[in-house]
A and B are shown apart, each in its own frame.
Chain A
Amino acid sequence: MTLAGVSAIAGACLIALGGMAAFGRARNRGLDIQIAGVCFLALAGLIVFWSGPAVGADFRSGIDPALGLDPLSGFYLVVLCVVAAPALLFARASLPESGRSAPLIALTAAFVLSMAALVAARDVSTFLVAWELMTLTPAAAMLVWRQDEDVRGAVIFYVGITHVAAVGVWVAMLTLSAEGVLGGEPLGPGGLRTLVLVSALVGFLTKAGIAPFHVWLPRAHPVAPSHISALMSGVMIMLGVYGLSRVLFLWVEDVPSWVGVSLVGLGSLSALVGVLYALVQRELKRLLAFSSIEHAGIVVLGIGAAVLLDAVGQPRWAAIAFAGALLQILNHAAFKGALFLGAGAIGEAAGTLRLDRMGGLLHRMPLTGGAFAIAAFAIAGLPLLNGFVSEWISLQALLRLPVGDSGWFSLVGALGAATLAATAGLAALCFIGVAGVSLLGRPRTSGASEAAEPGGAVAAAIAFLASLCLALALLAGVLVPRLSELGPGFWPGGPSPDLNLPDTGSLPTPALLLALALLAGLVAVVRGSRRAAPAPVWISGQPDEPQLAWTLAGFTKPLRLMADGVLRTRRESTTVSPAGIVESLRFRGDVPHLFDTHLFAPLLWFAARGSKLARRLQSGSLRAYLGYLMALLLFLLLILRLDLLS
């Protein structure tokens, strides 16, 4: 047994133990044990990812449970641990010290374990059990955490949609297993391959929150406790991409190019839809949920580029595109984890998650606020931070289609690249706004002006993830060559700090960041330390009042006007003016989620009508059921009599 295997087993056992220990007297002890377990899992994942070889069983087609890790599983295990360790640390500091939080802690352990089991599953039964558990445990956690109507509605929606979609996963996985593909040769062309591909696309992409299957996501993520939200958004949805990339690059032979085109299309749609609706949210966690849809879209764009580049015979760039998508997953885990945990801390400190009621929090909570700001800038794609690096790789990969002359797929690549660039621009607008309205400027409410820095553990958890954003930007050049070995194609590039991709001008983040810091320091010195004159901000000579402070709605107004044809904002204003004198003005405006109103509302209507009809059949009366049995018997006899079957 290798070190990695021992470490993985020890980690899993410790997490399970920690989950059970939560019911004992020392609640924090349970979380401590879980954190230790996550560290062991991370070690196992790192060893297997970085240096191989695979440990445990290989994929097999039977239904006997089997577990094992190969480098791709190891990578996802690292992603899981990167979010899980700070999330547990956050939970330790923020959950109330009462018996009420014990079930939540146990469910957290179960959630982490189910995700670890999914990436370690080596047969179809383990995979599907872990898949279902991974869906159900966060739902249970939400219900344990809060018991109001909102949560119940969100959980029903979440469980309903992900389960309908799970049919796709079941069909794909069971077919692959039945065909003996999991442990053997990949599935060749034919009708069966099309069935597997279509059902895998629907099933896995729904879990990943890809539009138009994303409607569960903005409902479920905001109502979960913050550390569960971080895990769901940073890891769980990306495990949909894990399943999909296994199917595409391991179990199916010669992925047809229509899959690549659909992936690029769906990825573009999700990226744009996610970020556009994120822009119009007023509540921080709901905004972050929409941004997860955007990032899942960016990852799927990268996977689609990998499929297409492989299909047109550019194996080097197929490998790089896949590496870019994986790097995006890791980056997303780092900054989205930091942002969800930061949202939890900020919501606790300021007493609200409404963005327009915050303000000036950087002064009140410099450590948490600073880390939140770095994560927000990273997710906004601030050049030279990690979000920019992975988006740069994906942009280059998509550009390779038109630049490398791949026939009509050139158009797909150019459109995908343009969409990704627009998405990056929108994310910049969105997250500069988020950081600005919450952290900078002056407090807008008394809650925000009295916010205080949370405990050291909370700040440390968020700061760890924020510093990871910087570290990943510096290490990209080392990581990408290793990541490119895990998917399709082949790129013989060795690790170098310069991220020197073929036929690009390279992105040497360490050198650029160092030069930027030195030059900016130089400018600051040249500018001199002469005292700057304090002055009020210019607002046309009016007195500066908090009501005049800008809101996120004001900041995004130009864009909302330009995109009004897509967003269809509803505005409603009433003037109360008895006797011709205006007494008050009332304005209401909101942006309906068009996927809800136009796509899912009709579907729900049909589902409700259908179940109403079905309920009429289930009258509960014994006579009626005897009648059904009689009818069925007669029907079968009739078939037999008329010899319809032959």
Chain B
Amino acid sequence: MTGQTIVSGGIQLAGAALAPLAIGAVQWLKARMQGRRGASMLQPYREMRRLWTRSRVRPDGASVVYEAAVPLSVASTFLALLLLPIGSVSPDWGFGNDAIVLFGLLAIGRFALAAAAWDTGSGFELMGAARDLTLAVFVEALFLVVLALLAFPAHSTDLIAMSASAAGGEAWREPAQWAAAVGLGLVILAEAGRRPIDNPDTHLELTMVHEGPTIEFAGRDLALLHWTAAARTWVVLVLAAGVLVPHPGGFAVQLLWLPGWLTAFVILLAVIEATQPKMRLLRVPLLLYGGAVIAMLGLIGRLLGAAV
């Protein structure tokens, strides 16, 4: 194990602690843009600390499926953190570094919460879980098309190889990369549960998507679920910083690019959040189709480029 892998592994683990900060920063910036003072960037940590002292809840009739849901979604999201490339390097944890496996790990939490929703039998929870799983159908299909573009320069779906070949930024000379950026942007918005696909601030039972399945959880369970939501956002943002945008230079220089790009993404998320209303649920697939069509056009463009 070299120094580089130790550093990158340390940053992967630090993501677990820093993830709520990214969420807090988006909320703070959004409030500023809307002319409010807003809560401090550290607000997510305070909420988690408050929730940690509260008692958990056991809904009537809930079984082991409900009990296992939170540990499983926390554990799978944590594992996803360990697959991320940091500065085009990742320590060999023995979990591989595959892009599709990364998304699979994020899907485990969705599965666990949907099963818990059926376990409690709560209608509101099921409503959110059904929407979440339904949107995931379109998001997963979109992600695969985007991956077909992003994995091309490296000829591999290994995140380290993808990150290394994305570092120089040569891919941006092709229209395919711009199409992939649009598609990946939509995937990030959907996975992170941000507007216009979902509204992270709503707590009205009938409008929630990602927040819906958490409705029967309280206390430490809810604190852990808040962390999971933040960590999911962190994972997709670090992924985009690693495999989409250019980050030239040696390992140390690439490490400096990472906070820079993360800040840029946080600002971008806040701008989208402040300016876009939440879409009607049934229109979201059209948005995602649109992303897939653009990505397919990118692929066709690449093929035409190769043909002439």
Contacts and interface: CB of A to CB of B under 8 A. Distances in A.
Given A429-B130, A505-B99, A505-B159, A414 B115 contact: no
Contact of B140 (A408, A425, A554): A425
A399 B117 CA distance: 34
Interface in A515-567: 515-516, 519-524, 527-528, 530-540, 544, 548-550, 554-559, 561-562
Contacts of B101: 383, 392, 505, 507, 512
A508 B93 CA distance: 11
Nearest to B135: A558
The residue among B55, B59, B70, B94 with the most chain A CB atoms within 10 A of its own CB is: B94
Contacts of B145: 414, 417-418
B111 interface: yes
A360 B118 CA distance: 10
Interface stretch (A117-125, A240-248, A432-440, A628-636): A432-440
Contacts of B152: 402-403, 405
A537 B216 contact: yes
B95 A508 contact: yes
A507 B95 CA distance: 7
B151 A432 contact: no
A317 to B, nearest CB: 11
A459 interface: no
A421 B95 contact: no
Interface of B, secondary structure class, is: helix
Contacts of B139: 425
A511 B63 contact: no
Contact of A506 (B96, B137, B216): B96
A557 B130 contact: yes
Contact of B221 (A360, A425, A527): A527
Interface stretch (B17-25, B26-34, B102-110): B102-110
B55 A424 contact: no
Interface in B51-91: 55-61, 63, 65, 67-68, 70-72, 74-76, 78-79, 83
A509 B269 CA distance: 34
A521 B75 CA distance: 9
Nearest to A516: B75
A442 B121 contact: yes
Contacts of A536: 59-60
Interface string B123-154: 11010011101101111111111011101100
B220 interface: yes
Contacts of A521: 71
Contact of A377 (B61, B111, B302): B111
Interface residues of A, number: 86
B157 A507 contact: no
B195 to A, nearest CB: 18
Contacts of A440: 63, 65, 115, 118-119, 121
Contact of B115 (A392, A436, A561): A436
Q: Interface size bucket, B side? A: 35 or more
A383 B140 contact: no
Contacts of B149: 402
A417 B147 CA distance: 10
A414 B148 contact: yes
B60 A534 contact: yes
Contacts of B138: 422, 425
Given A436-B118, A441-B119, A533-B58, A399 B151 contact: yes
Given A436-B117, A534-B58, A511 B94 contact: yes
B215 interface: yes
A402 B78 contact: no
A418 B95 CA distance: 25
Contacts of B75: 515-516, 519-520, 522-523
Contacts of A421: 140-141, 143-144
Given A418-B292, A428-B111, A504-B98, A363 B147 contact: no
B306 to A, nearest CB: 7
Contacts of B72: 516, 520
A508 to B, nearest CB: 5
The residue among B59, B123, B144, B216 with the most chain A CB atoms within 10 A of its own CB is: B144
Interface string A471-514: 00000000000000000000000000010100111111001100
A535 B123 contact: no
Interface in A385-434: 388, 392, 395-396, 399, 402-405, 407-408, 410-411, 413-415, 417-422, 424-426, 428-429, 432-433
B108 A384 contact: yes
Contacts of B118: 432-433, 435-437, 440-441, 550
A461 B94 CA distance: 34
Interface of B: 55-61, 63, 65, 67-68, 70-72, 74-76, 78-79, 83, 94-101, 104-105, 107-108, 110-111, 114-115, 117-124, 126, 129-131, 133-134, 136-145, 147-149, 151-152, 155-161, 205, 215-216, 219-221, 224, 281-282, 285, 292, 296, 299-300, 302-303, 306
10 contacts: A392-B100, A402-B149, A405-B152, A426-B137, A428-B110, A440-B115, A515-B75, A520-B75, A535-B60, A537-B216
Given A403-B157, A418-B145, 9 more contacts: A383-B108, A399-B144, A404-B155, A408-B303, A411-B296, A411-B300, A422-B140, A523-B71, A550-B126
